[in-house]
A and B are shown apart, each in its own frame.
Chain A
Amino acid sequence: MAPTRTIKNKHADGSKSSSSSGGPKRSSKDGVKKPFSGGSKPGGGGSSKSGPKGTKPPPKEQKSKPNFGQDRKKKPRVYTEKELGIPELNMITPVGVTKPKGKKKGKVFVDDRESMSTILAIVQAEKEGQIESKLIKARQMEEIREARKAEAEKKEQERKTKLDETKELMRKKRKRGDENNKKKKDGDDEEGDKIVKEAVLGGTKAGKTKKKSVSFAAED
């Protein structure tokens, strides 16, 4: 009888210990614990206490493990891109493309006449201003060009007048020089002419004097 009981108890114990959930209450009621826990009394007493404790810790462990994981995941989330000090241009999305968070999604259409006319007025005013400034700029440039042109013409005129004056001076000088030369030249010419004439006349005379004469022996 006794061995059968022990066997049953052993089986029951083993199954219960393996199953873990329903076991501890029955084991405390049965006397099976004595042989199972065996030699140590404090261990048996501890098992009776650890039975209810054993049920509590597993959920604690389960909670603690994912908590650690969540904490580790959360920590990097705390650092924003601004905190990290990454330059804005180095981001995947360009600076201009990012949309403000607070705004609503979707497009705002302009279909009513009032909003259209306001946009129209703004655009037209801008354009008018641009064209006006262009015109003013062009006029100013034109004025500057004309002033430069006038100045250049003036300079050219001055240079011409100067040149003319010097030319006049030179002419006058030349004229004076020519007159003196003419007078001198006239005197020289007369003398020269005389010399030439004399030479010519002399030459002709000389030719006549030197004329050879042929004389024949007189015939007896």
Chain B
Amino acid sequence: MRALTDEEMKTVLDKLANYMSDLKSLIAPLDDGDRYVFRLNHSRVYYVKLSIANLATSISRDALLSLGTCLGKLTKTGKFRLHITALPVLAQGARHKIWIKENGAQPFLYGSNVVKAHVGRWSEDCPEHQGCVVYSMADIPLGFGVTARSTTEARRLDPTGVVCFRQADCGEYLRDEDTLFAG
């Protein structure tokens, strides 16, 4: 386990900035004097409290399975891929949101894109191909994706047109159970 390098940190924050408006809250000091840091272990990036990260140094790399919140994976080409486990962090400071109706929740959780007919409401002034967090109508985050159309264009779209391309959904906790945390 180690801290991220300059480049790695930039790629991770760049990806997070697609979905979040306020990144500074990520590293803001907590009330107890602690703060959150980013740690890398087996090419996975973890968002963890500094005190816990310091405790984890006593565990060998191979034995350390996971700590804190796993944000995603750094690929061998140097890119960063967000996992569904990062959803609570993204949902805290989401830049753009889409609320889907009850009839659209199940298709989304089974891995399909969001169709206009399933959208309950969406945040205004959302451009095309921008990261957004998908919520149920009861404000429960279900996953995240990338907008297929801007809000103005989406208004003109027919009901079967795709509004948001799925990136990750909560169904992955079951579907990718074997590979989500290790491998």
Please determine whether chains A and B interact with each other in the same assembly. yes
Cβ contact within 8 Å between B35 and A113: yes
Bound CA–CA A121/B14 (angstroms): 11
Give every chain A residue within 8 A of B14 (Cβ-Cβ): 123, 126-127
Cβ contact within 8 Å between A111 and B37: yes
Closest to A127 in B: B17
Whether, in the assembled complex, A134 has its beta carbon less than 8 Å from a beta carbon of chain B, the answer is yes
Cβ contact within 8 Å between A116 and B27: yes
Interface size, chain A (Cβ < 8 Å): 21
Closest to A120 in B: B23
Q: Which of A9-17, A25-33, A102-110, A180-188 contacts B (4 or more CB under 8 A)?
A: A102-110
Question: Would you list which residues of chain A between 103 and 142 have a CB under 8 Å from chain B?
Answer: 107-111, 113, 116-117, 119-124, 126-127, 131, 134-135, 138, 142
Whether, in the assembled complex, B76 has its beta carbon less than 8 Å from a beta carbon of chain A, the answer is no
Give every chain A residue within 8 A of B29 (Cβ-Cβ): 113
Give every chain A residue within 8 A of B35 (Cβ-Cβ): 113
Bound CA–CA A119/B37 (angstroms): 14
Question: Would you list which residues of chain B between 1 and 58 have a CB under 8 Å from chain A?
Answer: 2-6, 9-10, 13-14, 17-18, 23-24, 26-27, 29, 35, 37
Known: A116-B27, A119-B13, A123-B14. A109 touches B5 (CB 8 A): yes
Cβ contact within 8 Å between A119 and B127: no
Cβ contact within 8 Å between A123 and B23: yes
The one of A109, A119, A127, A138 in contact with B2, judged by C-beta atoms closer than 8 angstroms, is A109
Give every chain A residue within 8 A of B167 (Cβ-Cβ): none
Cβ contact within 8 Å between B125 and A135: yes
Question: Would you list which residues of chain B between 84 and 103 have a CB under 8 Å from chain A?
Answer: 95
Question: In the assembled complex, how far is the CB of residue A208 from the closest CB belonging to chain B, in whole angstroms?
Answer: 83
Cβ contact within 8 Å between A120 and B24: yes
Cβ contact within 8 Å between B5 and A108: yes
Bound CA–CA A142/B9 (angstroms): 36
The one of B2, B9, B18, B150 in contact with A116, judged by C-beta atoms closer than 8 angstroms, is B9
Give every chain B residue within 8 A of A123 (Cβ-Cβ): 10, 13-14, 17, 23
Bound CA–CA A25/B18 (angstroms): 93
Give every chain A residue within 8 A of B172 (Cβ-Cβ): none
Question: Would you list which residues of chain B between 115 and 134 have a CB under 8 Å from chain A?
Answer: 125, 127-128, 130
Bound CA–CA A127/B21 (angstroms): 9
Give every chain B residue within 8 A of A111 (Cβ-Cβ): 3, 37
Cβ contact within 8 Å between A109 and B23: no
Whether, in the assembled complex, B66 has its beta carbon less than 8 Å from a beta carbon of chain A, the answer is no
Give every chain A residue within 8 A of B130 (Cβ-Cβ): 131, 134
Closest to B151 in A: A138
Bound CA–CA A126/B29 (angstroms): 24
The one of B3, B27, B127 in contact with A131, judged by C-beta atoms closer than 8 angstroms, is B127
Whether, in the assembled complex, B152 has its beta carbon less than 8 Å from a beta carbon of chain A, the answer is yes
The one of A117, A119, A126 in contact with B6, judged by C-beta atoms closer than 8 angstroms, is A119
Give every chain A residue within 8 A of B9 (Cβ-Cβ): 110, 116, 119
Give every chain B residue within 8 A of A126 (Cβ-Cβ): 14, 17
Bound CA–CA A45/B17 (angstroms): 97
Give every chain B residue within 8 A of A124 (Cβ-Cβ): 13, 17, 23-24
Cβ contact within 8 Å between B13 and A120: yes
Cβ contact within 8 Å between A110 and B6: yes
Supplied contacts A123-B10, A123-B13, 7 more A-B pairs, CB within 8 Å: A110-B5, A122-B10, A123-B17, A124-B23, A124-B24, A126-B14, A142-B152
> What are 6 A-B pairs at a CB distance below 8 A?
A120-B23, A123-B10, A123-B13, A124-B17, A124-B24, A142-B152
Interface, chain B (partner A; CB < 8 A): 2-6, 9-10, 13-14, 17-18, 23-24, 26-27, 29, 35, 37, 95, 125, 127-128, 130, 150, 152
Among all A-B residue pairs, the 6 with the closest Cβ atoms: A127-B17, A134-B127, A109-B3, A111-B3, A123-B13, A107-B5
